[in-house]
């Protein structure tokens, strides 16, 4: 347990630095590019990524997870997975290039033809360094991962801003994605020991496939659950609305990916060192969920209640239609931020089939819900359908994960209760101030005052319950 604790804390520290730095860069550069580009440009790019990100789901067919799940790996296993990844990357690039005209026809947008063909290179660029990332994650060396991802994104974004400033429009976003993959792969080869060698042994792939199949199929279904909304909005409404929706969704994801993503990345390789001990996994899971909620809940609630001021001050008047979608999406992201960690439980208890079964049920429900919501009330109708369906799906999500680690609902809610109270007090305080005081919501000073008030109210409640907060005990023990 001592080694697990040390490795996990070190990994979480550097993974958090990585995610926080990366999401901060993404936020800053998104604001800058939103000022230089139009919602149409972002919508056009989102149309491509609906299909390209689907291809990236298959970039390793779950073999990376299989390597991490195994306690020890041989050189032949690394080489076989690299060879398979490279083959998949080349195949996906060819398929994406050939289908470019069909994708353009699907959206009735001729510009997508050449943009899609150029973007097809991303599959090869990403496939060559997947094993290097696995090597670092196996070692829980998130310090090097932080360096690679932040430097790559920063460099590619600076170049994208230059292109956007000189009038390249949507091509600026395409260039950033391609250069980010190039810089990332080069940096990984520079700082890791693994050197690629083409040595494909099918007996190894077949053995790893037994574990990776469920992971891969789950990723496939999860992808479409998360992207059916973009596909339908782009097809049935248009690129401007898609640009607005996608920007709101990406902002909503920042706390979820930055906090929950950190924990998932570290816990999966860390748990493999404790031989799937359910008692340890349950204890760490509860502390993890509380720590994620402690940070993500107030941020997402704040984004929701301050969505109008946030959009007006940071993005400008042309993004006004994003205010209400952002308010709704930020609210539903609150439970998502904690349940996003649950996938780690299934992977480490050897049950990747459980999220697969949940997703098999979820996908058709989301598809029908999105379609009818969109038909009834456009983008807002789709968001309401998304919220209703996700709330219903929380029941099986919690049931299966809690049963895997013998966790009671009362215990789970007790851990979160101080944070929920704090968020309710914060949300009510900011709402009251906005309702009864005359404020210029288009001024950055107003945004600062409201954020400060919310932080003070939330922190005051958390201090009252500090004896029940795990991070408080951790900080005090360090002192």
Angstrom distance (rounded) from CA 48 to CA 239: 11
- Whether 34 contacts 316, CB under 8 Å: yes
pLDDT at 301: 92
Backbone angles phi, psi at 62, to 5 degrees: 80, 5
Q: What is the DSSP letter of 37?
A: S
pLDDT at 2: 47
Mean pLDDT of 108-122: 88
| Ranges 74-88, 308-322, 447-461: which has the least confidence | 74-88
pLDDT digits (tens, 9 = 90+) for 15-32: 666 666 777 788 788 888
pLDDT digits (tens, 9 = 90+) for 196-242: 777 777 676 666 666 566 666 776 777 777 778 888 888 888 888 88
Q: What share of the chain is helix, strand, coil (3-state, %, to 5)?
A: 85, 0, 15
Angstrom distance (rounded) from CA 426 to CA 305: 10
159: pLDDT strictly greater than 90: yes
pLDDT at 479: 45
Burial class (CB in 10 A: 0-12, 13-18, 19+), 8: buried
Interacting residues of 192 by C-beta distance below 8 A, sequence separation 6+: 132, 135, 136, 144
Interacting residues of 82 by C-beta distance below 8 A, sequence separation 6+: 128, 130, 131, 196, 197, 198
Q: Which range scores top for mean pLDDT: 42-46, 180-184, 339-343?
A: 180-184
pLDDT digits (tens, 9 = 90+) for 364-419: 898 899 999 999 988 999 999 999 999 988 888 888 777 777 888 888 888 899 99
Coil, helix or strand for 330?
Answer: helix
Q: How large a percentage of the chain has pLDDT more than 90? A: 16
Mean pLDDT across the chain = 79
Angstrom distance (rounded) from CA 105 to CA 103: 5
71: pLDDT strictly greater than 90: no
The two three-digit tokens of residue 204, written as one number: 């190894």
Higher pLDDT, 263 or 255: 255
Residue matched to tokens 């954020």: 451
- Whether 112 contacts 43, CB under 8 Å: no
pLDDT at 385: 93
196: left (phi over 0), alpha (psi -120 to 50) or beta: beta
pLDDT digits (tens, 9 = 90+) for 330-344: 999 898 888 877 766
Q: How large a percentage of the chain has pLDDT more than 70? A: 76
Mean pLDDT of 276-298: 80
pLDDT at 60: 61
| pTM of the model as a whole | 0.68
């Amino acid at each position: 347990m001592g080694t697990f604790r040390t490795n996990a804390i070190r990994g979480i520290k550097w993974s958090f630095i990585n995610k926080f730095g990366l999401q901060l860069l993404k936020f800053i550069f998104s604001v800058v590019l939103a000022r230089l580009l139009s919602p149409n440009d972002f919508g056009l790019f989102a149309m491509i990524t609906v299909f390209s990100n689907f291809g990236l789901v298959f970039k390793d067919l779950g073999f990376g997870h299989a390597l991490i799940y195994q306690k020890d790996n041989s050189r032949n296993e690394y080489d076989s997975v690299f060879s398979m990844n490279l083959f998949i990357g080349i195949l996906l690039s060819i398929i994406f290039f050939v289908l470019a005209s069909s994708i353009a026809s699907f959206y009735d947008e001729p510009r997508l033809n050449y943009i899609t063909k150029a973007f097809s290179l991303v599959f090869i660029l990403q496939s060559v360094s997947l094993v290097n990332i696995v090597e670092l994650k196996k070692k829980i060396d998130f310090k090097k991962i932080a360096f690679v991802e932040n430097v790559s994104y920063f460099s590619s974004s600076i170049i994208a801003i230059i292109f956007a400033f000189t009038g390249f429009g949507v091509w600026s976003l395409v260039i950033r994605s391609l250069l980010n993959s190039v810089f990332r792969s080069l940096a990984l080869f520079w700082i890791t020991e693994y050197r690629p060698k083409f040595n494909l042994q099918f007996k190894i792939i077949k053995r790893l496939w037994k574990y990776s199949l469920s992971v891969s199929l789950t990723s496939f279904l999860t992808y479409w659950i998360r992207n059916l909304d973009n596909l339908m909005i782009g097809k049935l409404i248009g690129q401007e609305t898609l640009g607005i929706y996608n920007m709101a969704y990406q902002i909503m994801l920042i706390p979820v990916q930055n906090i929950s993503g950190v924990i998932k990345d570290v816990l999966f390789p860390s748990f493999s060192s404790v031989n799937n001990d359910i008692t340890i996994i349950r204890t760490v899971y509860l502390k993890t969920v509380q720590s994620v909620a402690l940070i993500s809940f107030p941020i997402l609630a704040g984004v929701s209640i301050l969505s109008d001021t946030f959009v007006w001050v940071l993005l400008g008047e042309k993004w006004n239609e994003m205010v209400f979608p952002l308010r709704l999406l930020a609210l539903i992201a609150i439970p998502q931020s904690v349940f996003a960690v649950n996938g780690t439980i299934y992977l480490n208890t050897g049950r990747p089939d459980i999220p697969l079964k949940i997703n098999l049920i979820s996908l058709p429900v989301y598809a029908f819900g999105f379609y009818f919501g969109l038909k009834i009330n456009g983008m807002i109708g789709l968001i309401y359908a998304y919220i209703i369906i996700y709330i219903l799906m929380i029941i099986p999500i919690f049931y299966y994960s809690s049963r895997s680690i013998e966790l009671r609902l009362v215990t789970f809610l007790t851990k979160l209760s101080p944070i929920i109270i704090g968020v309710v007090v914060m949300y009510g305080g900011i709402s009251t101030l906005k309702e009864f005081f005359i404020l210029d919501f288009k001024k950055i000073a107003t945004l600062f005052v409201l954020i400060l008030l919310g932080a003070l109210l939330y922190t005051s409640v958390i201090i009252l319950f500090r004896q029940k907060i795990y991070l408080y005990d951790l900080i005090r023990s360090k002192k």
